[in-house]
Amino acid sequence: MMMCGMPASAMRSAPAPHRRAVARLGVLAGLALLVLGSGCGYSTSGLYRPNIRTVYVEMFQSKEFRRGIEFQLTEALRKQIDRSTPYRNAPRDRADTILSGEVLEWRESTLGRDLFTALPRETAGTLMVRYRWQDMRTGKILVDQPRLVTTVEYVRPVGEKVFNARDEAVDRLARRIISSMETPW
């Protein structure tokens, strides 16, 4: 019998350290094959669904008194799709999927007040939306999120305004919605 290019009789006559090194090498090779064969949970497939190429982002609806947030969010989603995914924006009649949703609420609350004037120092803005991503070819709902919330803080005395907070909240939500379009593990 041959082992590592040496006949078995030569292995028996080889010094003990050499036999241990060969045995260790065999154990390491076996472990390497086991690890490579098991896959360790990794996949060579991409983060996004390969059977989808285009998305139509429908104008988000809003029941919110403050207008304009729905336009900002719709535009931010369209930009994020182009920037961060392999998908492309398409007209509704040519899209594989449709992303639709609604702005549920924009709320501002005071986190801290100035000790002398009692005016708000730090404020939090919370934006809440619901959205759905649907495959138009099959009718299958790919993602259905009844409530997605993000909160941003802003400090009025340093010049931060409510529209800065809304911009940041819209951008955060757009990134979170786009990340939900990734293929689930």
CATH number for position 103: 3.40.50.10610
In whole angstroms, give the CA distance from residue 64 to residue 177: 20
- pLDDT of res. 120: 72
pLDDT at 102: 96
Residue 16's pLDDT is what?
A: 63
pLDDT of 22 over the 70 cut: no
Domain around 127: 54-179
| Concatenated DSSP letters of 67-83 | -SHHHHHHHHHHHHHHH
Does 86 reside within a domain? yes
Do residue 7 and residue 81 come from a single domain? no
142 domain-assigned: yes
